[in-house]
Chains A and B, each alone.
Chain A
Amino acid sequence: MTELRSIFTDEFVNLLTKISKEGIENASKGFAGMLGKELTVKSSSAKLVKLLDIPKMLGGPEDETVAIYLKTEGGIAGQMMLVMPCEKAFGLVDMIMGEPIGTTTVLGKMEKSALQELGNITGTYFLNYVSDNTGRSVRPTPPAVMVDMCAAILDIVIATAGIENEEVLMFDAEFVQGDLCTEIQFWVIPDPQTILAYGAK
């Protein structure tokens, strides 16, 4: 993993770190609001990651995983994703729907729709922070909910970001919800060309 400082100026690194921390904090508020529950944000960071190392960041490549994926458009293009093991997604759906944990055992159309909305609010809140603090309009696409092998899901992130780059900037954090004993990963990967355009001095 390369240090941000080796590529960008100190000033830009500080800005990226601030956006990462406060944007993620705002995103977590949206997330918590949907659940109606308390949430903690852990290990929030801004870092450069080698594309081909991304699969190692989550569990086993064949682990059944749920991801809620969005792209962003406007002033800052990029990707965002909430990702978790499949069984943890059931508990999230229960919370969103106000049901006791353990009620949901299958992700049908309605359950996926609830997760879609969770992804929409979380991702949009991150973008709201960026927009209000940079003066640039940034909007999300409608989210996609994927349930599949971990590696297959990550292909999207890697192929989209990796068209011209070996390394990408990533903002990431874990959302920890006590009742669920769950850590959900939240990733934001701004489009590398956009970031370079901002960072070039």
Chain B
Amino acid sequence: MAKILVVDDAEFLRVRISKMLVGDGYEVIEAENGLLALNAYKAEKPDVVLMDITMPEMDGLTALREILAVDSGAKVIMLTALGQESVVLEAIKSGAKDFIVKPFERDRVVGALQKLIG
């Protein structure tokens, strides 16, 4: 069973995404900011990370780079409202495997996960 780390400062969204993924048979762990996400990644070694960008303590782009520094093979999908061209480019250049703009379609998220997990 694949393990997904869901990172978002909005509890409402973490709960919504968790319910969606658990329903599809995934195991879900949550973190409410980039710093806690980095700690959770090291402790739990999830298969994929769904990462928001705008968060307190440590934003998602910084957390992406920190996670890749710990594990160069980490699979991180950005899930954010911040769909500016410059941000998408920065995320992909930094090593994100995919970039989904909120509000998200369920199929888009599930499809992106399946592509990475195989």
Interface residue ranges, A against B (CB under 8 Å): 30, 33-34, 96-97, 109-110, 113-114, 116-117, 120-121, 124-125, 127-128, 131-132, 137-142
B53's nearest neighbour on chain A, judged by CB, is: A139
In the complex, B81 has a CB within 8 A of chain A: yes
Asked whether, in the complex, the Cβ of B103 is within 8 Å of the Cβ of A34, the reply is yes
Of residues 15 through 62 on chain B, the ones whose CB sits less than 8 Å from some CB of chain A are: 15, 53-56
- Rounded to whole Å, the gap between the CB of B51 and the closest CB of chain A is 14
Known: A113-B10, A131-B86, A142-B9. A124 touches B55 (CB 8 A): no
A117's nearest neighbour on chain B, judged by CB, is: B10
- Give the distance in Å from the alpha carbon of A6 to the alpha carbon of B77 in the complex: 48
- Rounded to whole Å, the gap between the CB of B23 and the closest CB of chain A is 15
The A-B contact count (CB < 8 A) is 61
Known: A30-B103, A128-B83. A139 touches B54 (CB 8 A): yes
How many residues on the B side are at the interface (Cβ–Cβ under 8 A)? 20
- Give the distance in Å from the alpha carbon of A127 to the alpha carbon of B53 in the complex: 14
List of A residues within 8 angstroms of B55 by Cβ: 142
- Give the distance in Å from the alpha carbon of A127 to the alpha carbon of B82 in the complex: 8
- Rounded to whole Å, the gap between the CB of B64 and the closest CB of chain A is 15
- Give the distance in Å from the alpha carbon of A137 to the alpha carbon of B84 in the complex: 8
Asked whether, in the complex, the Cβ of A121 is within 8 Å of the Cβ of B84, the reply is no
A-B contact pairs, 29 of them (CB 8 A): A30-B81, A30-B103, A33-B103, A96-B12, A110-B11, A110-B15, A114-B10, A114-B12, A116-B9, A116-B12, A120-B54, A121-B81, A121-B102, A121-B103, A125-B81, A127-B82, A127-B84, A128-B83, A131-B84, A131-B85, A131-B86, A132-B85, A137-B86, A139-B53, A139-B82, A139-B87, A140-B82, A141-B54, A142-B9
